[in-house]
């Protein structure tokens, strides 16, 4: 009987499982880094405003078409900026969830992304 584990194997616990878990952890860390360094862009108002966020959901770039700037209607420009940034964040979140699902085979791991 193996020492340290009742029943000789700990109910299916073995070194192969540990190695698989370690590999998954390494793959998750690599994926997280790749996603954080990626850029996710979205536009609003037919391209009048384009926003780009990184995988940490931080705004990294914003482009505003000159025709979108109307001093008489700054509220419209504000709404377009919010819409573009929100959609870019949604894209980043969806990509992170999709890639994590691929990595874990659909296994839901709390706290990841």
Which CATH number is 49's domain given?
3.30.1310.10
For residue 106, is it within any domain? no
**How many angstroms separate the CA atoms of 15 and 12, rounded?**
10
Pick the more confident residue, 2 or 89: 89
For residue 112, is it within any domain? no
pTM of the predicted structure, to 2 decimals: 0.69
pLDDT surpassing 80 at residue 66: yes
Write down the pLDDT at residue 1: 44
Length of the chain: 113
CB 47 within 8 A of CB 66: no
For residue 55, is it within any domain? yes
For residue 107, is it within any domain? no
Write down the pLDDT at residue 105: 75
């Amino acid at each position: 009987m193996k020492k340290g584990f009742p029943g000789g194997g700990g109910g299916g616990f073995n070194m192969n499982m540990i190695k698989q878990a370690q590999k998954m952890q390494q793959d998750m860390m690599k994926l997280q880094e790749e996603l954080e360094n990626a850029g996710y862009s979205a536009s609003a108002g037919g391209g009048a405003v384009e926003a780009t966020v990184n995988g940490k959901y931080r705004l990294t770039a914003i482009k505003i078409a000159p025709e979108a700037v109307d001093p008489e209607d700054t509220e419209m420009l504000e709404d377009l900026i919010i819409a573009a940034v929100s959609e870019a964040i949604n894209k980043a979140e969806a990509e992170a969830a999709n890639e994590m699902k691929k990595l874990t085979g659909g296994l839901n791991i709390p706290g990841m992304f």
